[in-house]
Amino acid sequence: GPDTLIIDCGADFRLTEAADWQRFYGSDHAGSWPYGLPELPGGRDRLRGTTRVAVPGCYPTAALLALWPALAEGLIEPAVTVVAVSGTSGAGRAAKVDLLGSEVIGSARAYNIGGKHRHTPEIAQGLRGVTR
């Protein structure tokens, strides 16, 4: 029911802009829920009393918690490049030969670079309040 607390760990309700969702996920936007990152300014207030929470992605969480304070204090310029590394578990559940341990040990591979990673709009959305 409406009083049941739902904490969504998927990406479905993280983005506020339907155009961003369509561009990066290629399907209809389901809407947005309060963003579950209480460490950001105003974040705790947005979560207070809600029964729906959109849990941030791993890359956005790391990027936002690292960049927000530095941007807010003017310590860095707003044009940033995020370089992040994930293990093969970050590539999803599908079994793929190029993700087998025997194929990836001792190597790293870039993917979805140049603003194409699906977490890009989530990071940009989170930083809008500090870069305006």
pLDDT in tens, 29-85: 999 999 999 999 999 999 999 999 999 999 999 999 999 999 999 999 989 999 888
pLDDT, residue 100, reads 76
Quickly count: other Cβ atoms within 10 Å of residue 68's Cβ.
19
Confidence of residue 26 (pLDDT cuts 50, 70, 90): very high
Widest distance between CA atoms in the chain: 49
pLDDT, residue 43, reads 92
> Which residues are catalytically annotated?
58
Exposure of 13 by Cβ count < 10 A (0-12 exposed, 13-18 middle, 19+ buried)? Answer: buried
Q: Is the pLDDT of residue 115 over 70?
A: yes
Where is 121: in which H helix or E strand?
A: helix 120-131
Check residues 9 and 130 and name the one with the higher pLDDT.
9
Q: Are 77 and 60 in contact (CB under 8 A)?
A: no
Closest CA to 40 of 100, 104, 114, 126: 126
pLDDT, residue 124, reads 94
